[in-house]
Structure 1
């Protein structure tokens, strides 16, 4: 049986914390920033935890 390979793209997008939580960069900060209010761009900066509905799929892609 061949080895399980982790999805390299997902590995670049998601980080696993010390307690095992999945953390990602928040979406919506790539383009059209002039049209967005600065309050919204401040809220979008930083990291957030991956949604509970997606954790099983992300863990599988990471090979966990």
Structure 2
């Protein structure tokens, strides 16, 4: 049986923690930051743990994660 392919978009956007949770980046941080509030930009730094439903979707795109 051949290896399953990982979706390359998912492998760039998500990381799996040691406990099996999925980490992702906050949205709306790439451009048009002038119109965003300082509070939003500050709170969107770093990454966060995806919800259970979103994590299930992300893990299905990364079969070996």
TM-score when normalising by structure 1: 0.86
- 5 Å matches for 1:33-52? 33-52=33-52
What 5-or-longer segments of structure 1 have no aligned partner? none
What 5-or-longer segments of structure 2 have no aligned partner? none
Whichever structure has more helix as a proportion of its residues is 2
CA RMSD in angstroms, aligned pairs only: 1.3
TM-score when normalising by structure 2: 0.85
SS at 1:18 equivalent = coil
Query: Number of matched residues?
Result: 64
SS at 2:23 equivalent = strand
